[in-house]
Chain A
Amino acid sequence: MNAPLPPNLAENAAERARRQAQAVAALSPLLPAHALLWQREDTVPYECDGLTAYRQMPLLVALPETEAQVAAVLQACHRLGVPVVARGAGTGLSGGALPHAMGVTLSLTKFNQIVHIDRAARTATVQCGVRNLAISEAAAPFGLYYAPDPSSQIACTIGGNVAENSGGVHCLKYGLTLHNVLRVRGLTVQGEPVCFGSEALDAPGLDLLPLIVGSEGMLAVILEVTVKLVPKPQLARCIMASFDDIRKAGDAVAAVIAAGIIPAGLEMMDKPMTAAVEDYVHAGYDLDAAAILLCESDGTPDEVAEEIDRLLDVLSGAGATRMEVSKDEAQRLKFWSGRKNAFPASGRISPDYMCMDSTIPRKRLADILLAIQGMEQKYGLKCCNVFHAGDGNLHPLILFDANDADQLHRCELFGADILETSVALGGTVTGEHGVGVEKLSSMCVQFSTEEREQMLAVKRAFDAGGGLNPGKVIPTLQRCAEYGRMHVKKGLLPFPELERF
């Protein structure tokens, strides 16, 4: 059930054509002619999201322009039993918006209006297709901004951010999408209006926002989001610190937190990554360092001066071999330019790369890096590493050539090994990119049969028929049985004899 139906068999092709004709007939009266695409050349752009290794042609693509049209499409699909895959900008990195072979891809890009910015309440109410950065741009005249800043923020939409619970480089201090969303308005699988959260700080009943945020389009279709805006700090400065040893850099991260400092950003790059980005952006990175830390402080000028002094003390105490503090905004942005361009820089030195996204407890940073070095030998592939070190979120970029089937295979094994090692170190298979289709198998390692069954029951509570984005996020029992790896017991309650009933 998790894998998209293989449309290569003749009988599948005939069945697909029949269902396509049925869906087109049902949806045509509901949408303007230009808002329904089913010819191959029109639907090809929707065959994948940011995870291009997985592709699937949708049955058809609907591009509704009004909420009434979205509701009508959902009602019709529900009646016909046609799956619906909601899609924002398609920048997701885990295949969450991968089409369903027998389903409608519901593109919500027409919902791109900022409904209201309430300066006094510091909130913005925006349609789901508004880009992340556009919110901050609209709030800028009031000295406010929207804090979560995933690296795709120029293109990704708020609806997609809510679906994935997106992070960014400032999460440690400012939180994830969940912490910055007040209210989500949308439609159930039956096309019925529903609202989660409130413009007040709480709402009656269970707090369902944490389920909706990060649900990868499987529980409801999001139409409108009310987010918190926060005052723009007067000043931000960044320290670039070099370390001659990975372990020292990892320990420095722990030392910063132990000193009671929550920096606005705390990022790490290893030596191969630094070399790749320096060649790309020429930011003046220390190419001799085993690891580089970028550590940002923001606030009032006095506050930043105080915090930078404390940070320099801690970092030099932790064995930094070189430290430089940004003198002005231009230099601060230059320090960040390499980190923010880590992905394209990797694209320049390798035909393809696969970006992993696990999270581990901060104290295990050096352990995972050393484990990844061992895996480079084992799988015969190179890996560059960038980390949101402050919150332990790793982005190892495995370099490979997708045209070489054996390299692709080794890359997939390498990636799964990183994820499963992260779980064994007390972490999680995905910090901010989502499970989608990419990490379905790894979910078998992180969660027990009973835990996965409980999540499937949550899905059924919102969507009994499984109409919304079926086959994503929660692997089936059968898939986990075929994958054949054991669930790694999490150390929460150390009662192994009670782990399974």
Chain B
Amino acid sequence: MDALAGIVEQVQAARATKTALDIRGGGTKAFYGEPPDPQKPAAALDVTPLAGISSYEPSELVVTVRGGTRLAELEAALAEKGQCLPFEPPRFDDPANSGGPGGTVGGMVAAGLAGPARAALGGVRDYVLGATMLNGRAELLSFGGQVMKNVAGYDVSRVLAGSMGILGVICEVSLKVLPVAPATLTLRLEMDAAAAIRRVNEWGGQPLPLNASAWWAGTLVLRLAGAVAAVRAAAATMGGEVVEPAMAAAFWAGLRDHRDEFFVGALRAVDGGAALWRISVPATTPPLALSGEQLVEWGGAQRWLCTSAPAATLRNAAAAVGGHAVLFRGKDKSAGAFAPLAPPLAHIHRELKQAFDPDGVFNPGRLVPGL
């Protein structure tokens, strides 16, 4: 297969010449992660030629896809069979090619970002069943598989989710998929942030088909998804105003893809020098007393904050409640995109990077400075 052979050759050449490679799919998440290491200029490794759905059997709930396949193509194939990626990965635009083909499946796994249903249904790694990767020695390795239950050896395939490409090239991945819920319904309620976080967690403790939540500027929006009877019964007990289906679908898609009002405003503010932070905290954490515009997702576990406050203030506030803060978008990333690692973890990260990519070929510094 020419596409893979070409990638293998580039990795071998990079290794031989001690140069770095910047693994690139759709280029839609180039803004995300640590800034490039100026000491290690990297050549682009384009993985989009490695494209296509290798196998898809709806009755197995498994799809196997090459890393360079466009996410849009995968989602269309699943939708045709009434199935979906339950973790709702965001679909960003490539700023250099607006309206282009969009992100790839490999990029989706490597970034590990999930959308509104994350708290209810799990994240990217929860749906990874197996992967074939190219490590820094240009060895093609398969871990995991295409079955739901598999404990043979270390679960390397799931570690690739959110790895930002530092361990190797994701050549192919097998994902668990789920049927689209038979019924969905969106409710809208007026309340403050503290009440919203409290109420969503109370509902979360009851057998209700609560699938997503978002609070911003005094409004809590909830999505119910499940069996027709379950959604109908839940809506009757939870109260609030039912949002018209087309408007609701547009709202959740906008939230997922960062195209809704909050994110459009945040992007404008980022252009003006502010930063967009993703603060990940235990869901029941009360509203964080931080300046700036805040949107609360995932039942309280994900807080988007558009602010000019200093990085240290946000990192300390997140750490104080057992969470961490990610500088998601900002012109100045000198404070680091991700929170620093505790010493034993930093050591394990260094050793793992060495184990997969001893010559430091892939995405230097993209996840952890220096690795």
Binding site for B on A (CB under 8 A): 118-122, 142-144, 164-165, 167, 171-172, 175-176, 178-179, 188, 192-196, 198-208, 210-211, 213-215, 219, 231-234, 254-255, 257-258, 260-262, 299-300, 302-303, 305-307, 359-363, 388, 390-393, 426-435, 439, 443, 446-448, 450-452, 454-455, 457-462, 464, 473-474, 490-495, 498-499, 501
Contact = CB atoms under 8 A, between A and B. Distances in A.
Contact of A262 (B5, B55, B141, B179): B179
Interface in B140-192: 140-143, 145-156, 158-159, 161-163, 166-167, 171-172, 174, 178-180, 182
B125 A210 contact: yes
Contacts of B38: none
A31 B326 CA distance: 43
Contact of A206 (B1, B137, B162, B178): B162
B149 A361 contact: no
**Among the interface residues B82, B226, B228, B230, which one has the most CB atoms of the partner chain A within 10 A?**
B230
Given A199-B282, A232-B207, A303-B226, A206 B156 contact: no
Interface stretch (B59-67, B69-77, B239-247, B252-260): B59-67
Contacts of A204: 324, 326, 338-341
B139 A194 contact: no
A214 B151 contact: yes
Contacts of B138: 501
A281 to B, nearest CB: 26
A493 B54 contact: yes
23 contacts: A120-B284, A121-B282, A121-B284, A165-B151, A171-B148, A178-B126, A193-B344, A199-B323, A200-B301, A201-B123, A203-B280, A207-B159, A302-B233, A307-B227, A359-B145, A391-B149, A446-B152, A447-B142, A459-B154, A462-B348, A493-B4, A498-B8, A501-B140
B338 A210 contact: no
A201 B208 CA distance: 20
Closest 10 CB pairs of A and B: A302-B229, A260-B179, A210-B158, A461-B351, A457-B355, A431-B149, A391-B148, A303-B230, A254-B59, A258-B59
Contact of B207 (A179, A194, A300, A460): A300
A473 B171 CA distance: 25
A366 to B, nearest CB: 14
A214 B141 contact: no
B302 interface: yes
Contacts of B345: 194-196, 205, 208
Given A207-B162, A302-B229, A490 B352 contact: no
Contacts of B152: 428-430, 435, 439, 443, 446-447
B354 interface: yes
Chain A binding surface, main DSSP class: loop
Contact of A448 (B1, B122, B141, B205): B141
Given A188-B344, A192-B344, A363 B59 contact: yes
A428 B147 contact: yes
A359 B150 contact: yes
Contacts of B102: none
Contact of A122 (B123, B204, B339, B340): B204
A210 B131 CA distance: 14
A176 B144 CA distance: 14
Nearest to B133: A454
A300 B209 CA distance: 10
A428 B146 CA distance: 9
Nearest to A177: B151
Given A165-B155, A198-B322, A454-B141, A495 B344 contact: no
A165 B66 CA distance: 27
Contacts of B61: 257
Nearest to B174: A492
B348 A461 contact: yes
B171 A435 contact: no
B141 to A, nearest CB: 5
A177 to B, nearest CB: 10
A255 B151 CA distance: 26
Given A200-B282, A200-B323, A257-B59, A498 B149 contact: no
A46 B76 CA distance: 55
A363 B61 CA distance: 11
